[in-house]
Amino acid sequence: MKSKGYIHVYTGNGKGKTTAALGLALRAVGAGKKVFFAQFVKGKIYSEIEAIKKFVPGITIKQFGLGCFIVEKPTDADIQAARKGLTEVADILKSEKYDVVVLDEATIALYYQLFSIDEFLDVLKNKNPKTEVVVTGRYAPQELIKLADLVTEMKEVKHYYTKGVEARKGIEF
């Protein structure tokens, strides 16, 4: 018998939210579970995508972003891509196809109002009760934190980007 699926939130301004979600996804696959990894906002090919495609067929990964608009204002196309992703994720969460579903950077999609918190919470509240869900990203709203069963805040104490070190392939992307 499968146990209850909980809702995790990995948030905060520190590094490691997506990495923690990937670690949980890898652990789940090792235990024979099926994982869907949805990336909101992200649309570039990151190293984790290459690794999953090559080495971890138990993880299905899909991006619902068109690039990375973080320094700019989202376009109508960005909004449509995120909304399409939320609709697809809602269907996946209602099904029994996956044991674990990661919603990477979903809180960033919320922050930029690509979809509303009410829409997002409705998707989570209507998930299959057996499905474990991990939501990542900065700026997790209080409504999501209240709904979640587990919340971890990654806090930046020190980071080398403050000294001008740019993101490095295989470490930050």
Output the domain CATH number for residue 98: 3.40.50.300
pLDDT tens per residue across span 34-44: 999 999 998 78
The DSSP output letter for 108 is H
**Mean pLDDT across the stretch 96-123?**
97
Residue 100 counted as domain residue? yes
Residue 148 counted as domain residue? yes
Number of domains observed in the structure of the chain = 1
Residue 21: pLDDT over 80: yes
Residue 13 counted as domain residue? no
Residue 11 counted as domain residue? no
CA distances from 129 to 43, 75, 133 (A): 29, 34, 10
Looking at residue 2, its pLDDT comes to 56
pTM to 2 decimal places: 0.94
For residue 51, the surrounding DSSP H or E stretch is helix 47-55
Residue 2 counted as domain residue? no
pLDDT tens per residue across span 102-112: 999 999 999 99
Residue 20 counted as domain residue? no
Considering only residues 130 and 66, tell me which one the structure prediction assigns the higher pLDDT. Answer: 130
Residue 15 counted as domain residue? no
Range of the structural domain that residue 30 is part of: 25-163
Neighbours of 61 (CB within 10 A): 20
pLDDT tens per residue across span 53-84: 999 999 999 999 987 666 678 889 999 999 99
Looking at residue 71, its pLDDT comes to 63
Residue 128: pLDDT over 90: yes
Residue 19: which residues within 8 A CB-CB, separation 6 or more?
A: none
Residue 4 counted as domain residue? no
